[in-house]
Amino acid sequence: FFFFWFETMSIKGYLDTLAQDRLVYLKNVSTEKNLRSCADGGCDGCGGFGAWSKFRVKRVEGECLTRFQCFKDPSKWLQIDKDGDIITGPLNSDCTFFVVRQGNHIASFRSLEHPQFYIGISSDGVALHSHNDHYDETRFSIEAASDRCSDWDDRTVLGV
């Protein structure tokens, strides 16, 4: 009983990082770049700290379920479609993720609709799905966006 209570408390404290309506950056452990939504509805792993790299957390009923709303375009949500493509689009069943705790402020995000897929980023910055949460490409540190300047766009500053 004590172990179950301790583990539940540990998970709840961890999920406070993903509090409702919190702005976050999802920084890939492998590339040390942020996941970024793109104007064309795609995603990549080449983000800095601009508006395209921010996501608003929208918790879903249940302890470990969440959705990520694009900050730059609130009509778009992070999702993995049936083919495993990581995209942004309208809110639908592809937008819900199970949070898999990997360590202190480190998590993987498994699609609830397509549980064989995790969000991942390749070494060259391509957003891709993975079938395994044991690879660094699927692990993300969660950083509150309020910790960084919110008025500039990383692509403009970096000349991308």
pLDDT at 147: 42
Residues 6+ apart with CB under 8 A from 123: 30, 31, 137
| Residue 146 binned pLDDT confidence (cut-offs 50, 70, 90) | low
2 versus 133: the higher-pLDDT residue is: 133
pLDDT at 24 over 50: yes
The pTM assigned to this predicted structure is 0.81
C-alpha span between 92 and 70 (Å, rounded): 14
| Residue 154 binned pLDDT confidence (cut-offs 50, 70, 90) | very low
| Residue 96 binned pLDDT confidence (cut-offs 50, 70, 90) | very high
The model's pLDDT over 106-141, given as tens digits with 9 standing for 90+, comes to 899 999 999 999 999 999 999 988 887 777 888 998
The model's pLDDT over 71-92, given as tens digits with 9 standing for 90+, comes to 999 999 999 999 999 999 999 9
C-alpha span between 111 and 93 (Å, rounded): 9
Whether 146 and 116 have beta carbons less than 8 Å apart is answered as no
C-alpha span between 15 and 105 (Å, rounded): 9
Tokens 């700290």 correspond to 49
The mean pLDDT value of the chain amounts to 82
